Amino acid sequence: MIPDIQFSYNMLMDFKPNIWYLVKTKHKMEDLVEINLTNQSIEYFLPRYACGKREGKVIFSGYIFVRPNSNHTYQSIRSTMGVNDFVRFNLSFAIASNEMIDQLRAEVNAMNNRMDQTNQHQKGEEIFIKKGPFKEFSGIFEKYDVDQSVIVLINFLRHHQRVKIKADMIA
């Protein structure tokens, strides 16, 4: 019994405000945790990626980053409905730097921007080329390519020609 008291005491001593902590959620309860943290005015980051027209899908299923301020306690976050516990390695909390969270946010935003772009046109859809050497041509959208370009079929000299152009050149 005494080691448990000591363990809890050590954890409370290490818990500091304005640090990003990794928290384990209960199975498939990230959305509930997100709502409850918002209600408590606790800053959090739940990385999601765009998934068609639906709400984003959680990237790290079962985990959420939290950044408590001085008004929040270890116990208040741990007892939040849907939270399982803080992630720890032995007696140390799993933490992330502000730079790491910023970089992760930037990566998620970039990925979501690519996903939004990918969902903009569908295979077989008629498109219009608004700039470049094929300006004012119409074509058939075929697919997105990895380097922010697209493959379109244009009718050129009575034949469909497959052309690779920058994605921002089509409407």
Same domain, 93 and 38: yes
136: containing domain: 126-169
**Whole-number Å distance between alpha carbons of 34 and 27:** 14
Residue 52: pLDDT band with limits 50, 70, 90: low
Find the CATH number of the domain harbouring 84.
3.30.70.940
What's the rounded mean pLDDT across residues 32-61? Answer: 86
pTM tops 0.85: no
What's the confidence (pLDDT) of residue 12? 57
What's the rounded mean pLDDT across residues 12-27? Answer: 89
Same domain, 73 and 11: yes
Instruction: Please provide residue 38's backbone torsions phi and psi, each rounded to the nearest 5 degrees.
Output: -60, -45
**Whole-number Å distance between alpha carbons of 171 and 162:** 17
Same domain, 114 and 155: no
Could you say which of 81, 96, 118 is where a domain stops? 118
Could you say which of 94, 118, 142 is where a domain stops? 118
What's the confidence (pLDDT) of residue 87? 94
**Whole-number Å distance between alpha carbons of 114 and 108:** 10
Pick the closest to residue 66 from 89, 48, 81, 86 (CA basis). Answer: 86
Burial class (CB in 10 A: 0-12, 13-18, 19+), 78: middle
Same domain, 97 and 113: yes
Task: With beta carbons less than 8 A apart as the criterion, state whether 49 and 114 touch.
Answer: no
Same domain, 90 and 157: no
Residue 112: pLDDT band with limits 50, 70, 90: confident
Give how many domains the chain has, as a whole number.
2
**Whole-number Å distance between alpha carbons of 87 and 95:** 9
Same domain, 71 and 108: yes
Same domain, 106 and 150: no
Same domain, 30 and 95: yes
